[in-house]
Structure 1
Amino acid sequence: MEGKSKAGERVRIGILTKVFTTELVDAAIARHDRGDRRRRLLPARLVVYFVLALCLFARESYEEVLRVLTSGIPGSRALTSVNRSSLCRARSPLGEEVLETVFRQVAGPLATPDTPGAWWHGMRLLALDGTQFDLPDSTRNGDTFDGPSTTGGLPFGFPQVRAVVLAEIGTHGVLDARLGGYRDGERSLAYPLARSTGFGDLVIADRGFWSVEFAYAFT
């Protein structure tokens, strides 16, 4: 069973590097001037792959993600001697802009004309939906994103980020997404996603989104 598990890890890391190529990652880093000459910690490319691997292995610890990453990505051995706090510090100078650029380079529809469940009467089926994610319970996250509170304004639980995602139904391929804080409304986050739809797309969403104004935005 352990051999199968390690083989599965290598497959997922292989897919990760195939989709997010080194050329794509390096171009995003250069675009936002986050190259290694500005860094005293880890190479920027490795930090990008580490963050992506954290998403791929979301249930694993930093240490386990490091183990998987260093066994599957050439040149990542530099991570083996890095402690958890250094990894946290290395992510800060990278900036969110690099990761958003990487995301937008790969986001898009994946269905072919033969993909089951992706089409209806010649129209591409898209789904629009919102969700929330718990964040580490830190003062900075609480100040930035906020979270649930009592009627008297006393915070409880974890800070949360709200996400609204536009995805292809047949493949679950993400076309676009917007992130906001706990107090941001799903509808206000969803409006900009209309830019990622076009002629021949049929967008499905629950009743909390729709209004005449919203329908016009996605027409």
Structure 2
Amino acid sequence: FTSRSKDGLKGVFSRNRKLNLKNLIVLIMSSASSVQRDLDRFYKSMDKSDFSIRKVTKGAFTQARAKLNPEAFKRLNQVAIDTFYEQNLVYTWHGMRTLSVDGTTLMLPNHQSIKDEFGVHKFGPKADKERSIARASVLYDVLNLVAIDSQIDSYRTSEKELLSKHLEYLKPDDLLLMDRGYPSKALFFQL
């Protein structure tokens, strides 16, 4: 896991530091307030101390986060999903896992790296405003309340294209629910 989470950089997360890979992921996933406050609170808890002594700065956290491959979170999610299905009573409908799929759009922050990744969409009465917008889709187990897979891409990507990426997570005894915009001859061929 560690070697695939380093975003292709050699020597990253190889030494035992205060901000190692495990701590970095826990911090990112549990972040609720300001970054520095979360860092101080996290290390105070790790040290089982009554006092908060600054061990890692916000800048160090930002640099470490930039070295982390975002796919690490998808792999962690897959481990959590696999563990859920192996260790819990799984609800089905007539023996079938009941899945749904739906898409949405997300308004993204106005930052050049985001514009480069997702592109820019013009909107407004005169189409004079620019904004980065993403299309997202989730494959969801409705009876067990588990998100099986999520996809995000540029706004120009259709929900059907994102659905085709979800299909690898389907099993033979799955029932897939979708709204009227999804069915097509191409989809039936893929299934």
- Give me the TM-score of the superposition, normalised by structure 2: 0.75
Deviation digits for residues 105-132 of structure 1 (CA, Å, limit 9, x no counterpart)? 223464625x4xxx32222110111123
SS of 2:181's equivalent?
Answer: coil
TM-superposed CA distance for 1:89, in Å, is 2.3
Equivalence for 1:46: 23
Is the contact between residue 46 and residue 76 of structure 1 (CA under 8 Å) also seen in structure 2?
no
User: In 2, distance between residues paired with 1:76 and 1:165?
Assistant: 39
Match 2:107 to one of 122, 134, 138: 134
Is the contact between residue 118 and residue 153 of structure 2 (CA under 8 Å) also seen in structure 1?
yes
User: In 1, distance between residues paired with 2:120 and 2:48?
Assistant: 36
Identical aligned residues as a percent: 22
Whether 2:35 is the aligned partner of 1:62: answer yes
What letter matches 2:179 in structure 1? D
Equivalence for 2:78: 104
Residues 1:65 and 1:41: Cα distance change in structure 2 (over 3 Å):
closer
Is the contact between residue 135 and residue 152 of structure 2 (CA under 8 Å) also seen in structure 1?
yes
User: Bigger radius of gyration, 1 or 2?
Assistant: 2
Whether 2:67 is the aligned partner of 1:93: answer yes
Whether 2:14 is the aligned partner of 1:37: answer yes
What letter matches 1:44 in structure 2? L
- Give me the TM-score of the superposition, normalised by structure 1: 0.66
User: In 2, distance between residues paired with 1:91 and 1:124?
Assistant: 36
SS of 1:94's equivalent?
Answer: coil
Equivalence for 2:93: 120
Whether 2:141 is the aligned partner of 1:168: answer yes
TM-superposed CA distance for 1:81, in Å, is 4.2
Deviation digits for residues 142-163 of structure 1 (CA, Å, limit 9, x no counterpart)? 1211243138764434x23322
User: In 2, distance between residues paired with 1:66 and 1:107?
Assistant: 28
Residues 1:127 and 1:94: Cα distance change in structure 2 (over 3 Å):
same
Q: Which runs of 5+ in 1 are unaligned?
A: 1-27
The alignment covers a number of residue pairs equal to: 181
SS of 1:125's equivalent?
Answer: strand
Q: Which runs of 5+ in 2 are unaligned?
A: none
TM-superposed CA distance for 1:205, in Å, is 0.9
Residues 1:86 and 1:184: Cα distance change in structure 2 (over 3 Å):
farther
Deviation digits for residues 163-196 of structure 1 (CA, Å, limit 9, x no counterpart)? 2111100122122222212222121111021111
Residues 1:177 and 1:69: Cα distance change in structure 2 (over 3 Å):
same
What letter matches 2:61 in structure 1? L
Equivalence for 2:155: 182
Deviation digits for residues 35-55 of structure 1 (CA, Å, limit 9, x no counterpart)? 42389993222211122224x
RMSD of equivalent CA atoms: 3.3
Is the contact between residue 41 and residue 90 of structure 1 (CA under 8 Å) also seen in structure 2?
no
Equivalence for 1:205: 178
Is the contact between residue 147 and residue 155 of structure 1 (CA under 8 Å) also seen in structure 2?
no
More helix by share: 1
